[in-house]
Chain A
Amino acid sequence: MGIKNFVHFEFQSLPENVSFARACVGAFASQLDCTLDDIEEIKLVVSEAVSNSIIHGYDNKPNQKIELTVTIHEDHSLEMIIKDYGKGIEDVEKAMEATYSSDPSRMGLGFTFMKSFTDEMDILSKPGDGTSVRLKRSFLKEHDALS
């Protein structure tokens, strides 16, 4: 299945950039035939992944780099890859468990939200090298599938 459109950008690991990243992806995703609710959910998912890179990946260090690639595929799916070069995740299975957090003051809900609002979620992570989260969501409508 081919690619219809993509954007790729990188930004500094600053809290200010979380809203920038989700607004950008939201605007890009609106090229798909989707509802405002869908866009809100996409924005949430981006917010969770980028926040994790800043908070956990980089321990809030402000001068690091986050890369974001968003692709609209011919099959009306939206694919997002959020990549950092931070500390990585030792145990990905455990990290994905609902309510697990390495920080006692946090809720451990980020991955649960990402999973709830997408169809596919893969996490590639290597301690010391960084983390890449791939999220994909299909917006194929029934009438598209039939035609």
Chain B
Amino acid sequence: MDIELKMIRNTLIIRLKGEFDMLQAEKIRRQIDDKLQEEQVHNLIFNLEKVSFVDSSGLGVIIGRYKKMKEKDGSMYIVGAQPVVEKILSLSGINKLVPLFKNEQQITKI
């Protein structure tokens, strides 16, 4: 799985590509948390456009980061979830806590 982390002012964009399962979860979590330590992040965007699969291990990383952002009064958004991925997000209930958008442009508009 590929990960690209991009800071734009105080927004951290995380672009993931591939299958987000237990093999990837720990590595991805560590990279995101390091970045959250280093930088002043007020908004976190998970771009899942290129994620073809997610299970509870991947979901755990996403929901865990939501909790972290909430603790420090930050915001989180999820972008571009494919139907297979969106189904899992809905079942977990995270879609009620985190707004889902089609693409990154949609968020920068608001």
Contacts and interface: CB of A to CB of B under 8 A. Distances in A.
A117 to B, nearest CB: 9
B76 interface: no
A64 B91 CA distance: 31
A18 interface: yes
A125 interface: no
B53 interface: yes
Interface residues of A, number: 21
Main secondary structure of the interface of B (DSSP, over half): helix
B56 A40 contact: no
Main secondary structure of the interface of A (DSSP, over half): helix
Contacts of B55: 44, 47-48, 51, 110, 113
Nearest to B55: A47
A5 interface: no
Contacts of B92: 107, 109
A105 interface: yes
A113 B56 contact: yes
A78 B19 CA distance: 24
B28 interface: no
B107 interface: no
Interface residues of B, number: 17
Contacts, number: 52
B23 A109 contact: no
B68 to A, nearest CB: 12
B64 interface: yes
B59 A107 contact: yes
A113 B23 contact: no
Contact of B64 (A19, A40, A105): A105
Contacts of B63: 107
B21 interface: yes
24 contacts: A15-B21, A15-B22, A15-B23, A18-B21, A19-B21, A19-B23, A37-B83, A40-B84, A44-B55, A44-B88, A47-B21, A47-B55, A51-B21, A51-B22, A55-B22, A107-B59, A107-B63, A109-B56, A109-B60, A109-B91, A109-B92, A113-B55, A113-B88, A116-B91
